Amino acid sequence: MANEAKTSIIFRELLWMANYYDDKDVIIEEQKSDNVKIDKLLKNASKRGDKNGYPDFILYSKKYPELVIVVEAKADMNKHISKTRDHYANYAVDGALLYASFLAKEFDVLAIGISGEEKDKLQISHYLHLREEKVAYPIFDDKILTIDEYFEGIQKSNYKFNQDYAQLIAYTKTLNETLHEKKIKESQRALLISGILIALKDKAFKAGYKKHETVEQLVKSLYISIEGQLATGDITQRKIEVLTHAFTFIKTNPTLTDKKEGKKFLEDLIDEIDDEINGFMVTHKYVDTVSQFYIEFLRYANNDKGLGIVLTPPHITELFAELAEVDKNSVILDNCCGTGGFLISAMKKMLIDAKGDKAIEKRIKSEQLIGIEFQDDIYTLLISNMIIHRDGRTNIYWGDCFQEMEHVRRTFKPTVGFLNPPYKTKASDIEEFEFILNNLEALETGGVCIAIIPISCVIEKTTTAENLRKRVLEKHTLEAVLSMPEELFHNSKVNTVTCIVIITAKKPHPKGKKTWFAYCRDDGFVKIKNKGRIDAKHTWESIKEKWVNTYRNREVIDGFSLMREVNEKDEWCVEAYLETDYSKFTLADYESTVKKYLMFHLMDMSGAAGNEKEDENEEL
Break the chain into its structural domains and give their ranges.
4-156, 161-283, 289-579, 583-620
The Cα–Cα gap between 127 and 83 comes to: 15
How far is C-alpha 321 from the geometric centre of its chain's CA atoms? 13
CA nearest to 370, candidates 413, 328, 403: 413
Query: According to DSSP H, which parts of 81-145 are helical?
Result: 92-103
Q: Do domains 4-156 and 289-579 have the same CATH topology?
A: no
User: What pLDDT is stored for residue 467 in this prediction?
Assistant: 97
Residue 190: pLDDT band (50, 70, 90) is confident
Answer yes or no: is pLDDT of 601 > 70: no
pLDDT 10s digits, 395-429? 888 889 999 999 999 999 999 999 999 998 888 99
Answer yes or no: is pLDDT of 255 > 60: yes
CA nearest to 188, candidates 245, 227, 236: 245
Mean pLDDT of 514-530: 93
Residue 620: pLDDT band (50, 70, 90) is very low
Q: In what order do the strands lie in the sheet with 369-373?
A: 396-398, 369-373, 332-334, 416-419, 448-454, 498-504, 477-483, 515-519, 561-564
Find all residues with CB under 8 Å of 19, minimum gap 6, and list them.
146
User: What pLDDT is stored for residue 618 in this prediction?
Assistant: 43
Domain 4-156 has CATH 3.40.1350: yes
Q: What is the mean pLDDT of the chain?
A: 88
Answer yes or no: is pLDDT of 106 > 80: yes
The Cα–Cα gap between 615 and 605 comes to: 17
User: What pLDDT is stored for residue 299 in this prediction?
Assistant: 59
Answer yes or no: is pLDDT of 481 > 90: yes
Higher local confidence (pLDDT), 581 or 130: 130
How far is C-alpha 315 from the geometric centre of its chain's CA atoms? 5
User: What pLDDT is stored for residue 267 in this prediction?
Assistant: 95
Return the CATH number of 289-579, one of 3.40.50.150, 3.60.20.10, 3.40.50.720, 3.40.50.1820.
Answer: 3.40.50.150
Pairing of strands 526-528, 137-138: unpaired
Mean pLDDT of 462-474: 97
Mean pLDDT of 5-22: 94
Mean pLDDT of 72-81: 95
**15-19, 313-317, 499-503, 527-531, range with the lowest pLDDT:** 527-531
pTM of the model: 0.81
Sign (positive/negative) of CA torsion 540, 546, 547, 548? positive
User: What pLDDT is stored for residue 309 in this prediction?
Assistant: 59
**336-345, 355-364, 470-479, range with the lowest pLDDT:** 336-345
Spell out the SS3 assignment of 213-229. CCHHHHHHHHHHHHHHH
Q: In what order do the strands lie in the sheet with 123-129?
A: 26-29, 57-61, 64-74, 108-115, 123-129, 137-138
Residue 63: pLDDT band (50, 70, 90) is very high
User: What pLDDT is stored for residue 604 in this prediction?
Assistant: 56
Any bridge partners for residue 123, and if so which?
115
